[in-house]
Amino acid sequence: MLWQRLPPADSVSRTLVRDALNIWQAGVTAVQPDTLLRNKIHRDGRWLCIDEDCRVDLSQTRRLIIVGAGKASAAMASRFRRLAEQEWATPDFPPLLGWINTPAGTGHEAVPDIQFHVARPVGSNLPTHSALEGTQRILNLVSTAHPDDVVLCMISGGGSALLVAPQPGITLADKQAVAELVSAAGGNIRQLNTIRSCLSRVKGGGLARQCRAGRMIALIISDVLGDPLDIIASGPTVLDNSGSYRRAVVELEQLDLLEHPQLHSVVQWLRAAEQGRQADPRQNQSPSGSGPPPKIDNIILGNISDAVDAAGVRAVELGYQYLMQTARQPEGDVRDVALMACSAMERLAQQAPPDCWISGGEPTVKLPADNPGKGGRNQQLALAVLELLSKRGWPEVWPDNHLVFLSGGTDGEDGPTDAAGAWISAETLQSMRRLSCSPLPYLDRADAYHFFERMGGLIVSGPTGTNVGDLRIALSRKGSA
């Protein structure tokens, strides 16, 4: 873990910042694939047991085919391979083979029989030609599977940009424009993935429809609030996908993107599909239409609640008493979430205990139309909290109470930057005043990265190998500097 410019060594703020980072890291560690797979999967004789209700008869399994995509998928596949080799290995254990599309920087080299294919660079969440090529390899694997094979799909957040197979008539440039423009317009992940699943041969149950194995099991680390299976990574293994062409058009209209020139061909394609003027592959339940789809199990291994719970355990170990707040639905604009965070921090400052607030969620940021800056939703949230607290008279209004706020993505990424998020303390505000630097211009142009680069406070962890959303920590402590 790296962080930029901590407060002076003898300050209360330094201790609070270090504690907040420690608590955040505990949440991230709890949703690492190593932890989740060890807790959820074991072998019992001839049975591979997954979670509570899913069992695979290994004696009747010809091969285990491992495929997947996402920020945690390489680590999931690597951990599964190690368990199979070191703890479950017997002469009759089925052979493994597979292909995983992964972002750069996850630190997982290929293991025997499983190819880890780098499908996008660090700091970008747009589909690429490399993702397109890797997805075709995945589709080839599942579509040539045998009925006695079992396909294990390692799915995690970030999978939508890594599983790329456009519908006929849709180009990679179209998919890139959708991802970029919907995000810039403040669209949430449900809106984005509803649209993306309609434009894809692999999303919206497409991977399951291509599968010829007798069974498909998706092991899912969820980055979507409420864990809707059809939205996580755009639901590649969910046959009863709720997305519709009409819904996709409505979402674009609500985001004021229906007339955007870069989306003209996408909108025309969706309208034609809605009117039945082109075939809907989602109506076919097998690659050739000659048989039923495989038996499918979709299993959530971990989510933001697990990260929040673990962060709470660590807070107690450090001597704090906490409040928890985990979103179940899209949170909306980052400034609304900043208001919620400020209210929580005021409560911490005015009473003790509690002296710790832990929150999980995922807000949206609407980028300005002209010359947006550099940053991500976590950095933007920390900056919005700083601006609101300074307006409310912090730190003078609570002279004997130190406050720290931190927001970081559990994936170690925050927008197109090298930071996971940012933290603020009274020293951040003092530096801002000393340099006559107002946060408002940075907020207005969504340029939080350059603010924190100048003032200090960036969290630079690198890719963590997991992804369940954003984790926010606020701490309070009475005492002199």
What average pLDDT does this structure show over 463-471?
A: 93
Q: In this prediction, what percent of the chain has a pLDDT beyond 70?
A: 93
pLDDT class of 109 with cuts at 50, 70, 90: low
Q: How much is the pLDDT for 282?
A: 52
pLDDT above 80 (res 287) = no
Q: Give the type of residue at 84.
A: A
pLDDT class of 288 with cuts at 50, 70, 90: very low
pLDDT digits (tens, 9 = 90+) for 241-282: 656 899 999 999 999 999 999 999 999 999 999 887 665 555
pLDDT above 50 (res 284) = no
Instruction: Give the containing element (helix H, strand E) for 150.
Output: strand 150-156
154 contacts 37 by C-beta, under 8 angstroms: no
- The three-class DSSP label of residue 215 is strand
Q: How much is the pLDDT for 141?
A: 97
Give the CA distances from residue 239 to residues 194, 197, 203, 364, in Å, rounded to whole numbers and listed in that order: 14, 12, 10, 28
> Using CA of residue 405, residue 409, residue 412, residue 418, what is the dihedral sign?
negative
Q: Give the type of residue at 303.
A: N
pLDDT class of 285 with cuts at 50, 70, 90: very low
pLDDT digits (tens, 9 = 90+) for 137-195: 999 999 999 999 999 999 999 999 999 999 999 999 999 999 999 999 999 999 999 99
- The residues, ordered by sequence, that sit 6+ positions from 168 with a Cβ below 8 Å of its Cβ are 278
Q: How much is the pLDDT for 283?
A: 53
387 contacts 443 by C-beta, under 8 angstroms: yes
- The three-class DSSP label of residue 111 is strand
Q: How much is the pLDDT for 370?
A: 87
- The radius of gyration of the chain from alpha carbons, rounded to an integer in Å, stands at 23
- Give Cα 265 to chain centroid, integer Å: 29
pLDDT above 60 (res 3) = no
**What's the rounded Cα separation, in Å, for the pair 189 and 335?**
18
pLDDT digits (tens, 9 = 90+) for 15-51: 999 999 999 999 999 999 999 999 999 999 999 999 9
pTM above 0.95, yes or no: no
**What's the rounded Cα separation, in Å, for the pair 380 and 405?**
13
pLDDT above 80 (res 108) = no
pLDDT digits (tens, 9 = 90+) for 346-357: 999 887 789 999
pLDDT above 60 (res 96) = yes
**Per-residue tokens: 72:** 């945690």
Length of the chain: 481
Q: At what angle do helices 172-184 and 264-274 cross, to 10 degrees?
A: 100
Lowest-confidence region among 63-72, 73-82, 387-396: 387-396
